[in-house]
């Protein structure tokens, strides 16, 4: 067993022998064997006993706490001992402005490359000629990266490319019930952006787990500025996986697997739109299925979750030998 998601609001977790009991109002909702538990994600106001907390810490279970809307709140972290030299190397590289600039260029170049591939594939299927024209604009943005002489210039190119991408993305939405007028976040203001934000969070947590397993410091990256509480390296390395998240959301909308009735307008400034519990369940189960699906890597194939771990290991090798690229 790799991952468990606790989605029901107001639940309480207890440990009974080798079983995790999910309780609500003193009733057992579900029992889950803890053998092989690697990851636990809790949405909303789920709480736990001290015994459960001790177990999670002792076993090093990757435990993530999200708000009911999917925003990251906190994470239980293992000790992290034994990675001093690796982190010294990471700090040395990423405090070197030339290395950091080269790395940021590589990250954005890969992101734009994936955006173009995604849009070309989808526009071919949906016969959207205007989207293919936008791909030419994205390609022109990518070529400007070589001339970017500082991080802010790279971020400017990334931001410009993202605006073009989301303009094209809106043209690919064929479900008239869903309106998309560009990306917004913190908080998302409409159903499409709420879906994107939540699924991006799930993917970022996958990358963050892989970074922590590798021994790297997730809070120091290249493209994203270090900010209090933000895992900047995870934000960097998730960029190449965003296309999978965007494809996932687009498929849900166009196949009418979600409806506008799955969203609640709260009238609250800090959280204007929420997803229903049933939609959250649909999303996390579909995400877990996706993570356990196989993708091609060279001549072989491996689960998507382990492909993410492998890319983090590639980044470690890049820190050790920058000439090999990333």
Angle at 308 between CA 307 and CA 314, to 5 degrees: 90
Q: Annotation-wise, does 224 bind a ligand?
A: yes
What is the maximal distance between C-alpha atoms in the chain? 63
Structure-block tokens of residue 320: 């050790």
- Smallest CA-to-CA distance from 194 within 203, 181, 183 is with 183
Structure-block tokens of residue 233: 């390296």
Q: Which residues contact 62 (CB under 8 A, 6 or more apart)?
A: 38, 39, 40, 75, 76, 209, 212
Q: Annotation-wise, does 228 bind a ligand?
A: no
- Smallest CA-to-CA distance from 202 within 288, 262, 263 is with 288
Q: Annotation-wise, does 31 bind a ligand?
A: no
What's the CA gap between 97 and 27, in Å, rounded? 57
Task: Enumerate long-range contacts of 221-225, CB under 8 Å, 24 or more apart.
Answer: 221/94, 222/94, 222/100, 222/103, 222/104, 222/107, 222/151, 223/103, 223/104, 223/107, 223/108, 223/151, 223/154, 223/155, 223/158
What's the CA gap between 272 and 20, in Å, rounded? 34
SS (H, E, C) 216-264: CCCCCCCCCCCCCCCCHHHHHHCHHHHHHHHHHHHHHHHCCCCCHHHEE
Q: Would you say how long the chain is, in residues? A: 326
Neighbours of 51 (CB within 10 A): 12
Task: Please check whether residue 237 is in contact with residue 312, taking contact to mean a CB–CB distance below 8 angstroms.
Answer: yes
| Binding-site sequence positions | 158, 224, 239
| Binding-site sequence positions for Mn(2+) | 158, 224, 239
């Amino acid at each position: 067993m790799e991952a468990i998601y606790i989605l029901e609001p107001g639940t309480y977790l207890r440990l009974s022998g080798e079983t995790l009991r999910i309780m609500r109002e003193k009733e057992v909702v579900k029992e889950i064997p803890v053998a092989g538990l690697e990851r636990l994600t809790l949405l909303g106001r789920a709480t736990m006993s001290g015994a459960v907390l001790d177990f999670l810490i002792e076993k090093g279970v990757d435990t993530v706490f999200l708000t009911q809307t999917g925003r990251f709140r906190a994470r239980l972290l293992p000790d992290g001992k034994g990675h001093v030299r690796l982190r010294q190397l990471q700090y040395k590289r990423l405090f070197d402005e030339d290395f950091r600039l080269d790395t940021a260029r590589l990250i954005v170049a890969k992101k734009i490359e994936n955006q173009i591939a995604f849009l070309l594939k989808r526009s071919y299927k949906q016969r959207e000629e205007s989207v293919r024209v936008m791909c030419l604009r994205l390609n022109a943005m990518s070529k400007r990266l070589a001339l970017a002489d500082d991080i802010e210039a790279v971020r400017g190119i990334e931001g410009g490319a993202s605006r073009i991408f989301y303009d094209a993305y809106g043209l690919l939405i064929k479900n008239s019930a869903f309106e998309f007028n560009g990306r917004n976040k913190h908080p998302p203001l409409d159903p499409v952006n709420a879906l994107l934000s939540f699924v991006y969070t799930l993917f970022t947590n996958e990358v963050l787990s892989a970074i922590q397993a590798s021994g790297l410091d997730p809070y120091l990256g290249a493209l994203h500025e270090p900010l209090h509480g933000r895992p900047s390296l995870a934000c960097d390395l998730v960029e190449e996986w965003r296309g999978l998240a965007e494809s996932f959301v687009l498929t849900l909308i166009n196949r009418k697997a979600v409806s506008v009735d799955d969203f609640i307008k709260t009238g609250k400034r800090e959280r204007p739109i929420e997803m229903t519990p049933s939609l959250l369940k649909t999303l996390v189960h579909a995400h877990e299925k996706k993570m356990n699906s196989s993708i091609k890597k060279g001549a072989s194939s491996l689960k998507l979750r382990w492909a993410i771990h492998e890319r983090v290991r590639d980044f470690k090798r890049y820190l050790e030998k920058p000439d090999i690229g990333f």
